[in-house]
Structure 1
Amino acid sequence: MRKTREQAKEDNRRALLDAALQVVSRDGYRARLDEIAERAGLTTGAVYSLFGSKGGLVAALVTDYLQPSYAEIEQAVPADLDLLAAVDAFARYYRRGSDDPAARSELSLQITLLDMAVHDRELGSRLAESVRTQERRLVALFTGRAHAGGAVTERQAQRLVTALRALFVGLTQGVVLGLAPGADEQFFADTARALASRTTLLDPGADPTD
């Protein structure tokens, strides 16, 4: 059966993302568009047509890389849990990922992408927006959950997600590199719960007695 134009476009997009993952993982910010296109069996013109630029391709790669994990998180954290129970479930899910056979290669890719962002400010902005877009799903996941006699606001959920991201990225690096002995699921959960305390969720300048 002959492919439709949309099917061919999606196949080309997928081929470029797969090729970009291989080349970017190896070469970082030195990754060349012509090699990516060649690996995908396409031309550099296809990259510009589908993604607009090298930065657009890498940003799409980040989104493609993150999207499945965020979808899994939404499945791992049931909607009927209060905030602390939801954070506990999220932390345990995140810790289990550190034991995945692919965890070391995923860490390598994360470091490579950070290096690219440092060397290219425009690309760094694109990568940051790609991550923020995915993190909005986490904000939605925590917003409205019961906590301390009320419901978590969107702003509070945003502050919590920012803190949890920093915590889990650091702890996961420690686990993968052997620098965090004893950081098991319970440790992840206990530390995340501490971050989700009422004090952490307060907006700057708020009166903690309110």
Structure 2
Amino acid sequence: MRVSRAEARERNRRALLDAALQVVSRDGYRAKLEEIAERADLTTGAIYSLFGSKNGLVVALVTDYLRPHYEEIEQAVPAGLELLEAVDAFARHYRRSCDAPHALAGLTLQITLQHMTLHDPQLRTQLAAAIREHEEHLTGLFTGRPHNGSIVTPHQAQRLATALRALFVGLSQGVVLGLADEADEQYFSDAACALASDASRLVRQPGPVPRDR
């Protein structure tokens, strides 16, 4: 059966992303394009053709890794829930993901990428943009939900999504590393709901920035 050019391109792209996950997770910013290409049974020219650069490959790797994560979150938090109910569902789903077989590998990649951005400001900017794009899924997840007699606005949802992501990343690292034995689903839920409940502080609308005196 003849493979189309588009199918071959996608197959090569997938092979390079799988190889990059292994090499980048192990070597970080020292990862060599030659080894990634060799593992994928391709050439470095294929990397430049498909991703433009080493940074382009890393950003695509992060996007590829995050996409199913956010798709699972959207499925775990159904429409029709009030804000705190949605936050509870999100928290419990995040805690369950800490026990998944790939949790340690995910943490390894996360720490490795943080280390890489310390050595490459351009990559840091590119990764930040990619992560913000995916965080918009969380913003959409909370926007429009009832809370304390009002409806959560997009700006409020964005502030909440940023805070919750930071909370869960920190807690999940503790769980995976064995440093937070008591952080079960209820703990994740209680912490997240406490963070989200005081809407007057956490999700207030932007105001003027105070000037230094």
Establish whether TM, by shorter chain, passes 0.5.
yes
Matches of 2:6 and 2:15, distance apart in 1: 14
| CA displacement 1:85-138 (0-9 Å, x = unmatched) | 000000000000111122112111110011111111111111111111111111
Question: Shift in Å at residue 155 of structure 1?
Answer: 0.6
> Residue 131 of structure 1 aligns with which residue?
131
Letter of the structure 2 residue corresponding to residue 141 of structure 1: L
Identity %, equivalent residues:
68
Q: How many residues align?
A: 206
Within 5 Å, give how 1:1-210 maps onto structure 2.
1-197=1-197, 198=199, 199-205=201-207
Give me the whole-angstrom Cα distance separating, in 2, the residues matched to 1:118 and 1:79.
Answer: 39
1: CA distance between counterparts of 2:107 and 2:136? 22
Shift, 1:171, TM fit: 0.4
The Cα of 1:178 is off from its aligned counterpart by: 1.6
Name whichever of 121-130 and 77-86 sits farther off. Answer: 121-130
Task: Tell me the TM-score normalized by structure 2.
Answer: 0.94
Code of the aligned partner of 1:83: L
Deviations 1:136-159 (CA, angstroms, capped at 9, x unpaired): 111111111111111111110110
Worse overlay, 122-131 or 4-13? 122-131
Unaligned runs of 5+ in 1: none
Q: Could you report, residue by residue, the CA deviation over 1:7-34 in whole angstroms, capped at 9, with x for unpaired residues?
A: 0000010011011001101100000111
Deviation at 1:162, TM superposition (A): 0.6
Q: Which amino acid aligns with 2:88?
A: D
SS of 1:196's partner is helix
Q: Deviations over 1:163-203 (max 9, x none)?
A: 00110000011111121121110110011011112121113
Q: Distance in 1 between matches of 2:207 and 2:7?
A: 53
Taking the aligned partners of 1:200 and 1:129, their CA distance within structure 2 comes to: 23
Secondary structure of the 2:2 match is coil
Give TM-score scaled by structure 1 length: 0.95
Letter of the 2:181 counterpart: P
Offset at 1:204?
4.5
How far apart, CA to CA, are the structure 2 residues paired with 1:165 and 1:43? 37
Query: 1: CA distance between counterparts of 2:195 and 2:206?
Result: 15
Q: Which runs of 5+ in 2 are unaligned?
A: 209-213
Q: After TM superposition, where is structure 1 displaced by more than 6 Å over at least 4 residues in a row?
A: none
**Within 2, Cα distance between the matches of 1:91 and 1:110?**
19
Q: Which residue of 1 aligns with 2:211?
A: none
Aligned-residue RMSD, C-alpha: 1.1
What SS is found at the alignment partner of 1:60?
A: helix
Q: Between 110-119 and 172-181, report the one with greater CA deviation.
A: 172-181
Task: Work out the CA distance in 2 between the residues paired with 1:11 and 1:181.
Answer: 41
One-letter amino acid of the structure 1 residue matched with residue 182 of structure 2: G
